[in-house]
Amino acid sequence: MCQELDAGFGWDEQWLDDCVASFAILNTIAIWTGLVMMAAQWVVLINVWSWIRTLGRRAQNLGCGDAEAHVKEKQELDDSNEYQV
């Protein structure tokens, strides 16, 4: 890209070297920013996964792990009490 710019304006060798160095720095910054953001996504993904597993364990420890059985028991109690006044 710097050589294309240089062809139109006829800048000196110093300018061309500075341009190439500047684009190399920008390229390096962009690559490292992308890598850091990818690493941050993985950290967040692992933390959310761990949090979900912890919530599941807490629900099972509190007796909420068999929620369908609790719902069925409640329905059976409601059905049996339906005809009693």
Query: Chain centroid to CA 42: how far?
Result: 6
| pLDDT at 66 (0 to 100) | 59
Instruction: List the pLDDT tens digit at each of the 85 positions of the chain.
Output: 776 665 656 667 887 888 889 999 999 999 999 999 999 999 999 999 999 988 888 777 776 555 666 667 777 777 666 555 5
Q: CA-to-CA distance for 85 and 78, rounded, in angstroms? A: 12
Q: Which runs of consecutive H residues, i.e. helices, occur in the chain?
A: 2-9, 13-61, 67-81
Q: CA-to-CA distance for 43 and 56, rounded, in angstroms? A: 20
| Domains held by the chain: number | 1
- 20: amino acid identity, one letter: V
- 14: amino acid identity, one letter: Q
| pLDDT at 64 (0 to 100) | 54
Range of the domain at 15: 2-81
DSSP secondary structure string, 17-32?
HHHHHHHHHHHHHHHH
Nearby residues of 65 by Cβ (< 8 Å), 6 or more positions away? 59
